[in-house]
Amino acid sequence: MISQILNIYIDRRDFFIDLTIQHLEISMTAIIIAAVLGLILGVIISEYEKSSSFVLGVVNFIYTIPSISLLGILIPFSGIGNSTAIIALTIYGLLPIVRSTYTGIKNINPIIIEAAEGMGSTRFQILYKIKLPLAVPVIMSGLRNMVVMTIALAGIASFIGAGGLGVAIYRGITTNNEAMTMAGSILIAVVALIFDTILGIIEKSLDKKGNKKYKVKRKIIYTISSILILAIMITSVLNIKSEKNTIKIATKPMTEQYIIGEMMSSLIENKTDLNVELTQGFGGGTSNIQPAMEKEEFDIYPEYTGTAWNNVLKKKGIYNESMFLQLQDAYNKDYKFKWIGMYGFNNTYGLAIRKEIADKYNIKTYSDLAKYSNNLVFGAEYDFYEREDGFNDLSKAYGLKFKKNVELDIGLKYKAIKNKDIDVMNIFTTDGQLNTSNIVVLKDDKNFYPSYMCGNVVRKEIIENHPEIKEVLLELNNKIDNKEMSKLNYEVEVEGKEPKVVANEFLTERGLLK
Amino acid sequence: MISQILNIYIDRRDFFIDLTIQHLEISMTAIIIAAVLGLILGVIISEYEKSSSFVLGVVNFIYTIPSISLLGILIPFSGIGNSTAIIALTIYGLLPIVRSTYTGIKNINPIIIEAAEGMGSTRFQILYKIKLPLAVPVIMSGLRNMVVMTIALAGIASFIGAGGLGVAIYRGITTNNEAMTMAGSILIAVVALIFDTILGIIEKSLDKKGNKKYKVKRKIIYTISSILILAIMITSVLNIKSEKNTIKIATKPMTEQYIIGEMMSSLIENKTDLNVELTQGFGGGTSNIQPAMEKEEFDIYPEYTGTAWNNVLKKKGIYNESMFLQLQDAYNKDYKFKWIGMYGFNNTYGLAIRKEIADKYNIKTYSDLAKYSNNLVFGAEYDFYEREDGFNDLSKAYGLKFKKNVELDIGLKYKAIKNKDIDVMNIFTTDGQLNTSNIVVLKDDKNFYPSYMCGNVVRKEIIENHPEIKEVLLELNNKIDNKEMSKLNYEVEVEGKEPKVVANEFLTERGLLK
Amino acid sequence: MSDNTIIEMRNINKTYDNKVIINDLNLNINKGEFITVIGSSGCGKTTVLKMINGLNTPDRGEIFINGENIKNENIIELRRKIGYSIQGTSLFPHMTIEKNISYVPNLINKKDKDEVKKSVSKLIKVVGLEESILNRYPEQLSGGQQQRVGIARALAAQPDILLMDEPFGAVDEITRKQLQDEIVRIHKELEVTIIFITHDIKEALKLGTRVLVMDKGEIVQFNKPEVIKKHPANDFVRELVL
Amino acid sequence: MSDNTIIEMRNINKTYDNKVIINDLNLNINKGEFITVIGSSGCGKTTVLKMINGLNTPDRGEIFINGENIKNENIIELRRKIGYSIQGTSLFPHMTIEKNISYVPNLINKKDKDEVKKSVSKLIKVVGLEESILNRYPEQLSGGQQQRVGIARALAAQPDILLMDEPFGAVDEITRKQLQDEIVRIHKELEVTIIFITHDIKEALKLGTRVLVMDKGEIVQFNKPEVIKKHPANDFVRELVL
Ligand SMILES: Nc1ncnc2c1ncn2[C@@H]1O[C@H](COP(=O)(O)OP(=O)(O)OP(=O)(O)O)[C@@H](O)[C@H]1O
Ligand SMILES: Nc1ncnc2c1ncn2[C@@H]1O[C@H](COP(=O)(O)OP(=O)(O)OP(=O)(O)O)[C@@H](O)[C@H]1O
Ligand SMILES: [Mg+2]
Ligand SMILES: [Mg+2]
């Protein structure tokens, strides 16, 4: 086991170094903020005793929020990534520091405070000349707990794409790679112990009896920790700076978006001087990416027109492509976003039928289907029957009435139709499995379903600063139809190729990349 | 949202009451143990200063172990359920309490300690007459933090079947039921706040200036908390008592075991006066159930002979059924467990081939396959190629040499063979999908793979106390062959039926249940 | 109340746990007086002293300093003009002796650090200690040394009023005589008003321009030393001056 | 060293921060003596006193009690037979006055609680306080009251040796006289050996069977009060007894 862990460290040195740096950045920032905030809160409740039970109650309460819920609550406000992770960690860090500050101050011999009062100290002077220095041991005890806790807890940053050593731990857990989990855990422990030791030395050097030996040590420690903090800050600043020429692309957690994301990324990096930071499969899709775009955390992401119409612009009614100008106007006005580069495929809901039957009855459209539906078995997942615009409305619109309606797990639908257990089923029009299955996608001849053409939403500012991007994005305009997309999806989903590989093969094939 | 949560509380009152009681039991026990242990450790390191950095380092270190890993580490030792949850929570609870005890004691005015020394107090007398009382405010501050933390963290108990309000939270999260998550979180917060308030009042009443008003309050609080603790202990004891006539059955996380578990449970409850406590899909399978059986936490579980031979008895070599007597003897001797009721199916590794090809070449056994293998495409998941007793050994044993070896995701294998992408693949002999696919399972004519006949491992004591169980278990003897098992698996896995339904249908069909 | 009055206490009452500690006390102290206070242990001397700088508030009655009711005054400003040498010693344990002595000057934010330093050096000599102890912490001093640092700290404020609660209780006779001389000199030079609690009747009579004799929370006699000596108000005072 | 010797200190040296505090001190105290110690503030009196009950250890030299080197003794047992009244006051802040006084009897685990209670009642009267304060906490007492509780606490052990570090420094003259009489009575009645540090030369001469005069960490004179008065060893002693 140990040798396995060591091997992992050696093999994946850069990976772990990166994670450790991220971990440090996040946890240190949270620790500093929580320490300052906690100190202030602790001081306030020790000075205004009446507020103490309320503040401590609130701090207790927020501590009890499960981390997953807390992250969920925070994402709408602070987006994803570091800031949310830092806020969450800060919130959790408050409890130990607030209470220890409060206890430390309350625990001071009142005679000493009376002496300071009698000498005409203001409240503030008593606080910072007497109370805080004398409360140091207790405050430090809370701080040291908080530091260890925060560093340990910073593993949750990985849940929301903020990186850190949690990435190694949870990757290890999900892929059953125990050595990886251990490797992450051990690094966290080591980081925690190092910081605790540093704090221990700082604490000793703050001790009033501090003799000369410690004064030297203290200087060293201060220097080291200042350098560390500075280094972290500079890295953060550099990170921000280096982002100036970086285009941040997000994609939703869908195979086709992974592929498109890789295409864009390859093209931009090949044809411009810009760097691309690609965040694949961003959790929550539109509802989390859109706010992140507004916060300028992302610059480009592939979206679907129908989704944009209903979910982003929150318009009622069914979208069709004759409304594209309206859509663009609204984006322009409401968000300063542009739609640039429509890929050409329409990933909407659809119905598919076994080719055999389609051929037999010559069924091409939903209306054709309606004529023969009472001979056919329909299959769909539970959701589809339940959804408002699902099965019922569709049946009404076209007068469908199947012989039997089967409820199926979404993963088993294609299997079922191949087994002839069902004849017709609902699909998405770019499903990879459509590619090989012996099935036909029917035409929604009454436009029951909205159109979901895929295109890039781009922040205007980006186009203004980097006009070359527009050209690059337009290179993919109308290059991928439903069939093509379905094929590419198949390559990833069924053949198990990497999205990047599929994307690059496609680009090369089409002569877009050499 | 609020009304939703209130509704949940009203609708599922008993559910939440149960969870809250479990939560209280677990967290209170952990809190009490951590408080006592932490206090002792804190005292030790304040008295033997040299040990402090070591002990605090260890406490810090174990705090940084992610909860999932810690639970994983503990299960082999303390089984599942309450004890492991309590141990984990205790371990996490140590940090705040150890450090605050240490700080509280170190922070006492040395003049007062010198006075006590000068009066001829022993070290122990100084500790409990002077140091501990004077350290109370700081210790209480750590204790209160620890209580809130432990109650919040006790949500993890749900990971290992120990119940508690975490069940509501994680059920809410996985089923996207926000109200449920909130309902759980709020109850945790309320419990935490109540306990913190109680501790606050106790702390005030411990204050030396304690006037009469508080003395009355203190009595009330002590009474209430004693009653609470007593109540919790009594419930725990009662829980144990009520288990006397309960047979505890565990199953591994596999579809067929779910089904078998339900069968046993139905039969026992129908044909005897005993109750069954069925723990389905116990995490970790054999490696966690076996120790739990030894600890008498479970009474019965279905096991496979080959697994028993290699993994439980840790014998080398390949098991075949001629060794069953040996197996039984070893179980009898080493564990006082019996094998009672062999179901009749053998869930071992196997090779399957497309019927078409099998018919064409008349392939029935692995040896037959070897003759034609250079015309065929073989598919298996990555693992199979990597495993020691996997592809290489098999190929050598039979002289297999395929035209092509494809690496496939385990979930896509059956799809691939149906698509004729592959001709031969590895399988498990009771796979549900074998039931419908147009494929044939070949015979392992050289007995390359061990035999994995399924039967029940039962604690002897149970049979002695309840001989009627033996009869019931034997009713299923040889009732399910591979085909039958595969069919039942299919009903659950592909048709989406509940294991309980499948089990009962089977039993009724066979006339074992009316 | 004359124009010259610096401290006036009117109808002061103080009760602890239903026990009357100070009973209807009235007191007038003039600018520049050196009042020595003497009385039995626990009779309420410290309580009265602390009322003057507001560390203790009477249950009833008013206190005026320079004619202003201290209730309406900025108590912080007031206290900075009142030096206070505390009974026993409450030096700040986390500060060096130097920091302890310069505590009030630093509060007032005297920018001239050199000046503060110089005055600390002067003060430490005034109380008969060596400059070498300036870098030590209180716990490294003997009881009498700590007490003298407390006096230096009170003097450092260059106060208008000096409250001294048994300031020389823990020093030897020889040092005590020196300290007495110093305090008399300071009193004259700076024209500061001093209230000085002591258990040494000789000291009280020697130093005080007037002597306040207290018993059981009441003023038994408040007069010039000569008068006290010659005409003790009652048996308690008579026994004291014996 | 006679058979009667109870405390013997041999060639004691103590240095703090390279500063010699006690320099080659030798001392013999007989059973039943009442030694009063007097000397300038910071000369090392408390340091020497604390060496006797092992709170302070000399850098060099040996200390014998009843002929046994305290290094080899059970220091806990020893301390229980030595009453110690501390300079300043360090009462236990979290205990009532009653608990403070009965601290040592409770340590020794006297089962008879009534007896302990009775002796506490007696002791509190010995030091001139009322029984009503027994339920109070130290911070609710005046400085002098606290000091007297400290004396009562030291007496409660019924010790063979009583170390008293400026025990009467914070009480008024009248109470002081009472306390002096009490301590003399106790000394005679219980035949306890007392070492008593004071800054009051009159007190030292009045109480001591022998007076130990210290200066700068050395013994200047150690003799009967009459001798000290009549034949002061040097100018320092002369000035003291003036
Ligand atoms: N921890 C320490 N570090 C350095 N010097 C110390 C320490 N403790 C005491 N001293 C010094 O040792 C000397 C003797 O101290 P000690 O307390 O014995 O004096 P003392 O005779 O009792 O004086 P006083 O009458 O003022 O109580 C003093 O000068 C003091 O400053
Ligand atoms: N917090 C308190 N609670 C109850 N009684 C108190 C409190 N503080 C002081 N007292 C009582 O008030 C009385 C006056 O106390 P004060 O400290 O003023 O006495 P003092 O004259 O300064 O005595 P000493 O000479 O001993 O210092 C004492 O009897 C004391 O017991
Ligand atoms: Mg007083
Ligand atoms: Mg001393």
Residue nearest atom 29 of ligand 1, based on CA coordinates: D42
User: Does the global pTM surpass 0.90?
Assistant: no
Structure tokens at B251: 């199953």
**A416 CA to centre of ligand 1 in angstroms:** 94
- The one-letter code for the residue type at B476 is L
* Residue that is written with structure tokens 């000091």 in the block: D147
Least confident of A269-278, B30-39, B93-102, C183-192: A269-278
**Dihedral sign computed on CA atoms, order C215, C220, C225, C231:** negative
Relative to beta strand A300-304, strand B424-428 is unpaired
Q: Where do the structural domains in chain D lie, given as residue ranges?
A: 1-81+161-167+193-242
Q: Which helix (H) or strand (E) holds C27?
A: strand C19-30
pLDDT at B126 over 90: yes
Q: Which residues contact D232 (CB under 8 A, 6 or more apart)?
A: D221, D238, D240, D241
Higher-pLDDT residue of B414, A220: B414
- The one-letter code for the residue type at A374 is N
C55 interface with A at CB cutoff 8 Å:
yes
D107 interface with B at CB cutoff 8 Å:
yes
Please report residues of D whose CB lies closer than 8 A to that of B125: 107
Q: Residue D179 and residue B482: Cα distance in Å, rounded?
A: 102
For residues A338 and A332, the answer to whether their CB atoms sit within 8 Å is yes
The number of the ligand nearest the C-alpha atom of C21 reads 2
CB contact under 8 A, D50 and B118: yes
Higher-pLDDT residue of A163, D220: D220
- Asked if this assembly's ipTM is beyond 0.90, the reply is no
The number of the ligand nearest the C-alpha atom of D198 reads 1
Q: What is the mean pLDDT of chain B?
A: 84
Residue nearest atom 1 of ligand 2, based on CA coordinates: D140
Question: DSSP per residue over D179-203, as a string?
Answer: HHHHHHHHHHHH--EEEEE-S-HHH
Residue nearest atom 7 of ligand 2, based on CA coordinates: D140
Q: How many residues does chain C have?
A: 242
Least confident of A413-422, B327-336, D184-193, D212-221: A413-422
Q: What totals of helices (H) and strands (E) does chain C contain, helices first?
A: 10, 10
For residues A102 and A47, the answer to whether their CB atoms sit within 8 Å is no
Model pLDDT, residue A216: 61
State mean pLDDT over D158-180. 91
**D45 CA to centre of ligand 4 in angstroms:** 6
Model pLDDT, residue B242: 47
**What percentage of chain D carries pLDDT values higher than 70?**
98
Please report residues of B whose CB lies closer than 8 A to that of A436: 419
**C46 CA to centre of ligand 3 in angstroms:** 4
What is the nearest CA distance from C39 to chain D, expressed in angstroms? 7
Q: Residue B73 and residue C22: Cα distance in Å, rounded?
A: 69
Model pLDDT, residue A241: 44
* Residue that is written with structure tokens 């004759």 in the block: A322
Q: What totals of helices (H) and strands (E) does chain D contain, helices first?
A: 10, 10
Q: Which residues contact C53 (CB under 8 A, 6 or more apart)?
A: A118, C78, C79, C82, C84, C163
CATH number of D1-81+161-167+193-242: 3.40.50.300
Model pLDDT, residue B254: 78
For residues A157 and A107, the answer to whether their CB atoms sit within 8 Å is no
- The one-letter code for the residue type at B270 is N
**D48 CA to centre of ligand 4 in angstroms:** 9
Q: Residue A160 and residue A154: Cα distance in Å, rounded?
A: 11
pLDDT at A174 over 50: no
Q: Is C18 close to ligand 2, i.e. is its CB under 6 Å away?
A: no
Question: DSSP per residue over A31-97, as a string?
Answer: HHHHHHHHHHHHHHHHHSTHHHHHHHHHHHHHHTS-HHHHHHHHHHHH-SSHHHHHHHHHHHHHHHH
Residues 160-219 of B with CB under 8 A from A: 166, 169, 173, 181-182, 185, 188-189, 192-193, 196, 200
Structure tokens at A444: 């929604």
Q: Which residues lie across from A456 on neighbouring strands? A: A302, A340
Helix orientation angle between A132-153 and B52-63, rounded to the nearest 10 degrees:
40
Q: Which residue ranges in chain C fall short of pLDDT 70?
A: 1-3, 110-111
Q: Which residues contact A28 (CB under 8 A, 6 or more apart)?
A: A228, A229, A232
The predicted-structure confidence for B165-182, as pLDDT tens digits, reads as follows 887 876 666 445 677 778
Question: DSSP per residue over B297-345, as a string?
Answer: S-SEEEEEHHHIIIIIS---S---GGGHHHHHHHHHHHH-EEEEEEEEE
CA-only gyration radius of chain A, Å: 30
The predicted-structure confidence for D75-125, as pLDDT tens digits, reads as follows 998 999 999 999 887 899 999 999 999 998 888 876 678 888 999 999 999
CB contact under 8 A, B173 and A68: yes
Please report residues of D whose CB lies closer than 8 A to that of C171: 41, 199
The predicted-structure confidence for D6-37, as pLDDT tens digits, reads as follows 999 999 999 998 889 999 999 999 999 999 99
Confidence of residue A175 (pLDDT cuts 50, 70, 90): very low
A492-496, B97-101, B189-193 — which one is most confidently predicted on average? B97-101
State mean pLDDT over B46-66. 89
Q: Per residue, what are the HEC states of A341-400?
A: EEEEEECCEEEEEEHHHHHHHCCCEHHHHHHHHHHCEEEECHHHHHCCCCHHHHHHHHCC
Residue nearest atom 22 of ligand 2, based on CA coordinates: C46
- The one-letter code for the residue type at D53 is N
* Sheet with B424-428, edge to edge strand ranges: B404-407, B377-380, B424-428, B349-354, B439-441
pLDDT at D57 over 70: yes
Confidence of residue D164 (pLDDT cuts 50, 70, 90): very high
Mutate to test the interface with A, among B23, B59, B61, B70 (most CBs of A within 10 A): B61
Q: Which residues of C170-182 are buried (b: 16+ CB within 10 A; e: fewer)?
A: bbbbbbbbebbeb
B40 interface with A at CB cutoff 8 Å:
no
**SS3 assignment, position C24:** strand
State mean pLDDT over A28-45. 94
Minimum-distance CB partner of C103 among A119, A122, A208:
A119
Structure tokens at A353: 């039928």
Higher-pLDDT residue of A240, B7: B7
Q: Is C210 close to ligand 2, i.e. is its CB under 6 Å away?
A: no
Q: Which residues lie across from D96 on neighbouring strands? A: none
CB contact under 8 A, C144 and D201: no
Q: What is the mean pLDDT of chain A?
A: 84
Please report residues of D whose CB lies closer than 8 A to that of C236: 174
What is the nearest CA distance from D40 to chain C, expressed in angstroms? 5
Please report residues of B whose CB lies closer than 8 A to that of D93: 112, 134, 208
Protein residues whose CB sits closer than 6 Å to any atom of ligand 1: C 140-145, 170; D 16-17, 21, 41-47, 87
